[in-house]
Amino acid sequence: MMSLVTGGAGFVGSHLVDALLEVGHEVIVLDNFSTGRRQNLEHVNGPLEIIECDIGVKGDWLAQFERVDWVFHLAALADIVPSIVAPENYFRSNVVGTMNVLEASRRAEAKRFVYVASSSSYGIPDIFPTPEDSPIDPQYPYALTKHMGEELVQHWVQVYGLPALSLRFFNVYGPRSRTSGTYGAVFGVFLAQKLAGKPFTVVGDGEQTRDFTFVTDVVNALIKAASSNSVGGVFNVGSGATVSVNTLVNLLGGDVTYIPKRPGEPECTFADISRIKKELGWAPQVSIEEGVKKLLEQIAYWELAPVWTPETISEATKDWFRYLGKKSDT
């Protein structure tokens, strides 16, 4: 069995590569290393081919699809502020790139296609836990482009019969998470701060809650989805719980400094996972306590990560407040 993983050198992608090799797959990774790291795959011993390319631009990489069975499309630009400042980059990567990957998969007659969508497409939901049929209301270009990618997948299912489905990830965390971006950012930030002996920078009062889902659980969901016969479905992937940032800080242990709340961020993320449990037979296995313990055991990964301070965060998020702050004032 041959699987192709776009974004396979990234946080979630590299864990997926590990899992696929473990079950006997050969794996091709497509990554431009804008956020992915070669270090994430250095430990791999197995039939792995890594191709550096930009999926937003058609090229020789398209030929790789001719020999694959399963396609997992994880590659995306995933930072909020840069998407506000330079939305065209996000449309090229997350929309045009997704269309290129879909077309290559269709032409190669891939047996399964799994797209990683984002819970950010819900915007600021008012139903908890949030089901898949909740209103779509993206608050910034990253969220918009990820949902547009999801719409493309649905269209390729309807028009071309591509055997595809989408998984809406909530707040994924675990080893190899970054200190910026959508997935695992708060953990990466906090662990780098802990190593440096600096206080945790908590947004607002810290009582906002997040559906923190451990990376091995989402990887299992990806493989479960590819192994299923489901076509055209959209599934939430969450932990089955929602945990406050203050609780997370208590589990990590350390001093805290509070910084201004950011506009456009929900007070709560909490996935309704009843559909994926019923239709795909998947359920999360790792509790927040277990997950944090695993992270602390591997904290050395973040030794060279940037250490964010209230001042650097304020500078990095000024465009966030500039553009999204207008919405909260109206």
Q: Check pLDDT > 70 for residue 183.
A: no
- Where in the chain do CATH 3.90.25.10 domains reside? 174-211+241-267+286-323
What DSSP letter does each residue of 125-141 carry, written as one string?
A: --SSSBPTTSPP---SH
**Tens of pLDDT, residues 222-276:** 999 999 999 999 999 999 999 999 999 999 999 999 999 999 999 999 999 999 9
Please check whether the domain covering 174-211+241-267+286-323 is classified as CATH 3.40.50.10420. no
User: What element of type H or E holds 18?
Assistant: helix 11-22
CA pair distance 141, 147, nearest whole angstrom = 10
Neighbours of 159 (CB within 10 A): 9
**Tens of pLDDT, residues 27-41:** 999 999 999 999 999
Q: What is the CATH number of domain 2-171+213-237?
A: 3.40.50.720
What angle separates helix 185-196 from helix 288-297, to the nearest 10 degrees? 50
pLDDT above 70: percentage of residues in the chain:
98
- pLDDT at residue 47 in the model: 98
pLDDT above 90: percentage of residues in the chain:
95
> How confident is residue 180, by pLDDT bands cut at 50, 70 and 90?
confident
- pLDDT at residue 178 in the model: 85
- Where in the chain do CATH 3.40.50.720 domains reside? 2-171+213-237
**Tens of pLDDT, residues 186-220:** 999 999 999 999 999 999 999 999 999 999 999 99
Cis omega (within 30 of 0) for bond into 129: yes
Average pLDDT score, the chain: 96
> How confident is residue 181, by pLDDT bands cut at 50, 70 and 90?
low
- pLDDT at residue 18 in the model: 98
Q: Check pLDDT > 80 for residue 328.
A: no
Mean pLDDT, residues 286-298 taken together: 97
**Tens of pLDDT, residues 108-148:** 999 999 999 999 999 999 999 999 999 999 999 999 999 99
Smallest CA-to-CA distance from 64 within 20, 28, 16 is with 28
Per the residue annotation, which of 122, 142, 173, 183 is the catalytic one? 142
Q: Check pLDDT > 80 for residue 182.
A: no
> How confident is residue 327, by pLDDT bands cut at 50, 70 and 90?
low
Which residues does 24 contact at the CB level (< 8 Å), separation at least 6?
1
CA pair distance 207, 255, nearest whole angstrom = 16
CA pair distance 265, 246, nearest whole angstrom = 16
CA pair distance 240, 129, nearest whole angstrom = 9
User: Has 142 been annotated as catalytic?
Assistant: yes
Q: Say which amino acid occupies 46.
A: G
> How confident is residue 179, by pLDDT bands cut at 50, 70 and 90?
confident
